Structure formats: structure tokens, C-alpha cells
Structure 1
Amino acid sequence: MKVLVIGATGGSGLAVTRSLLARGAQVTAFARHPESLPPLHGPLRKVAGDATRFEDIDRAMAGHDAVVVALGIRENPLRVRLLGSARTAMDVRSRGTRHVIEAMHRHGVRRLVVQTSYGVGATAGRLPFMVKLVFALMLRPQIRDTGRQEDAVRDSGLDWVLVQPVNLTDDAVLEPAYASSNGDYQSMKVSRQQVGEFLADAALSDLYVGTSVALSAHAPEGKSIADRSARGRPQVR
């Protein structure tokens, strides 16, 4: 299977690229600076481009079976809130995703997997108070753009999957994430490694099509926030 990863040099983009290669997929890593990727094993093609330029996305799209979008702004969120982003367009998520959708229709690609954020759309009212406060004070413009991104995906007419991780960490975790289509979560953190594995699951199977899935790490025994019955591989609840 041939998968195009948009935003392949970010934390989740790199994680899903690794996971896809480990499963034997042919991966095209699309980023502004794909040469910054670490050494990776497997059938990997690197394409330099800007997701906010439709012609760059269109040029990379042909011949793929699925697309994973892991766009975002990697700069300090406080600086971005006060001064704006220095290196990345503030609407990179929504604009880049709209370009992806248009190019997918042009080239007949159906499977679209998009990482957004817990606390957007249907899960907006389910954040703990302190996290909701951080969203309101520091991340409001980015969250608004993520909402526009989700709207574009839902209206795309494609075989889409929205993936909403809670707070991302760089922890090394072997256990699959807890996945819920009801917006449940077991903790307020999840590792990029876990997210990458789930994004690969969604790209390579039909299990999650048409679903928005919340991802979190499993909580310690006795401290679960939601139902703890999802074990083993991620399951949609």
C-alpha cells in the first residue's frame, strides 16, 4: 500500500512514517524539509513541499492509496499566541487539509486520515477545566483553525478518519492507545508513538472510516476516567 504522509517531520508525522514502514507500506514523506528526517528503514520517498501551496500537494498526490495529515505549528505556543507564527502559516491545518482534499479528488485517492486535537468539535465540552483554560488563553487561534480543518474533512466526501489525541508526550510506550469514538479518555496524555501506530492502523484498514476517534494512554488501575474494557489493539468504542 502506498501512503502519503503530510507533515512527516513533525512528532506524529515521523511516528506514523516509522509505523507504516515497519508494516511494509510504501511511504512518501511530504514536508518543507524532508531531509531533516532521521535514517529510516523501508521503501521511503521524500518530497519537499509546502502544504499551503496546492501545486506542491497536487504534485505529490498521484499514485497513492491513502493520505495521513499530521500538520501543525511546532513553535512555542505562548510566542505564537502573542506574536503569531514566525515560520508556519496560522491556518496551515485547515488550508493544507483543503488542498489535500482537492488533490485527492483530482487523483482518485479515497482514504484520508487526519490528526486533529482532543477538545475540538464534539469533544470541545469534555476537556478538564485547566486544559480548557490553556486552550482559551494560549491556543485559541490554533484550535479555531483545527475546527475548520475538521469541518473540511467531514464535508470532503472521502473515506475519512479524524484522530483526536489528548496531550502529546514523547514517552516510549509499547501498549496501544485507548481509542474511543464516544470522546472518552482514560488519561490526559498519549505518546506520539501510540498516535503514530493508530494513524497507521487507520490508514491501512477500513475499521475506523467515517469516525472521529479520541486517543489517550491507558490510566493506571483504579484511576480510569472512562471504561477500561478496550485492551490490546486500539478499538473504536
Structure 2
Amino acid sequence: MKVLVVGATGGSGRAAVTALLDRGHDVTVMVRTPDAQHTFGNRIPGVIGDATRLDDVDRAVRGQDAVIVTLGITENPVRVRLRGPARTALDVRSTGTRNIIDAMQRHGVRRLIVQTTYGVGDTDGRLPLRYKLMFSLLLGPQVADTVIQDRFVHESGLDWTLVQPVNLTDSTDGGDAFTSTSGELAGWQVARSKVGRVLASAVDDEENVRRTVSVS
């Protein structure tokens, strides 16, 4: 399949690109700068643009079979909470995803996979107290934007899957992640490489269409 990855320069996005290539898909990345595109080398085509701009997204989505969204803010969360992000719009998740949904509807692209976070949407209320406090005190604005993003996906009418990992790490542990559509977890950390494989496998997985998949 022809798969567009939006948010490809983040840890989960890069892992998804690798996993997609391993599965034989044709991958296009949407990145904000030519330098970011160069990190993927010449074998992966890229579209330079900003997910918060609908015209840029429209160019990227046209001709694709599926879209994976791993948008987020990679800056220090304390700085973002106190001063706002310096390089990324605070509403990048919701605005970017809304633009992607609009473009997919316009071009007849049905398959949408969106990485959000465990504890919002269908898994709301399942967090232990310590994580609820972190969400509220440190990540409040970002979590609020993710809640809006989640709602946009549910209301899109597309063939969507929401992928909700717990705390992400750069561990190189082998094996596959534990996944569940009931909110069940196997722990509170998961490697980005494992999340990338879940995102890639969701592209042609009809079983979890219009479901939320917890990843741990």
C-alpha cells in the first residue's frame, strides 16, 4: 500500500516508517523542512509542509492508500507548560489531524491510523493517580488537544484505528508489544520501536477498524 506518515521525524514516526518498509509498503513522509527529509535518505519520498496548513496536507494525502499520524510536541514538557512550544503549534495534534481527515475525505482515502495516548478517549479514567496528576499539572494543554484530536477521529466516518501507547521509551528490547482493545495493559512503559510495529501492522488490519488499541 501507499502509506503517508505525518509526524515522521518523532520517535514513533521513525519507527513506523522502518516497520512499514519491512512490511513492503511504499512510504511517503511529511516533514516540515528539507533537512528533516534528508534524515530518511533518498529511498523515501517526502512532502515538505506543515500539518496545520490544509493546502500542504492536501498535497501529501493525494494518491495515498492510508495515513499514519504521529503528531506531537517533542520539546521539553516543562518549558511547553510554562512558556508554550517554541517550534510547534500547541494545537498541532487536533488541527493537523482535522486537516488530514478533511484531505482524506476529499481524495477518497479511507484508512487512518492515529497515535494518541493512553488515558484519553476510550481509555479515559483508567490512569493511576500519579499519571492523572502528571496529565493535569505538566501536560494539561497537550492532553486537552489530544482529547480534541481523539474526538475528530471518532467523528470522521473514516476507517480509523486509534493507537494509544503508555509511557514511551527508547529501549531496544525485542519482541512485540502487548495490545488490547479493552484497555488492558501489561505495564506502564513500551519501546517506540514496538509502537512503530503496531502502527504499521494496523494499516492492513481490518479487525481493529474503528477501535482503540492500547499498547504496552
Question: Is this a same-fold pair by TM over 0.5?
Answer: yes
Q: CA RMSD in A?
A: 1.3
TM-score with structure 1 setting the length: 0.88
Match for residue 79 of structure 1? 79
Residues 161-170 or 25-34, more deviating: 25-34
Displacement, 1:186?
A: 1.1
Instruction: Decide whether the 8 Å contact of 1:5 with 1:28 is kept in 2.
Output: yes
Give the unaligned 5+ runs of structure 1. 217-237
**Aligned length in residues:** 215
Match for residue 232 of structure 1? none
Give the unaligned 5+ runs of structure 2. none
Match for residue 9 of structure 1? 9
Q: Secondary structure at the match of 1:16?
A: helix
Displacement, 1:47?
A: 1.2
Amino acid at match of 1:29: V
Amino acid at match of 1:38: T
| Residue-by-residue CA offset, 1:146-194 (whole Å, 9 max, x unaligned) | 0000000000000000000000000012211111111111100011000
| Residue-by-residue CA offset, 1:206-230 (whole Å, 9 max, x unaligned) | 12101001100xxxxxxxxxxxxxx
| Residue-by-residue CA offset, 1:78-131 (whole Å, 9 max, x unaligned) | 100000111100000000000000000111100000000001123221112111
TM-score with structure 2 setting the length: 0.96
Amino acid at match of 1:33: T
Q: Secondary structure at the match of 1:199?
A: helix
Match for residue 60 of structure 1? 60
Instruction: Decide whether the 8 Å contact of 1:94 with 1:145 is kept in 2.
Output: yes
Match for residue 131 of structure 2? 131
Displacement, 1:34?
A: 5.4
Alpha-carbon distance in 2 for matches of 1:13, 1:35? 16
Runs of 4+ in 1 over 4 A off after TM superposition: none
Amino acid at match of 1:121: G
Match for residue 157 of structure 2? 157
Match for residue 180 of structure 2? 180
Displacement, 1:204?
A: 2.5
Structure number with bigger Rg:
1
Alpha-carbon distance in 1 for matches of 2:116, 2:84? 20
Higher relative CO (Cα under 8 Å, sequence separation at least 6) belongs to: 2
What percentage of residue pairs aligned between the two structures are identical? 55
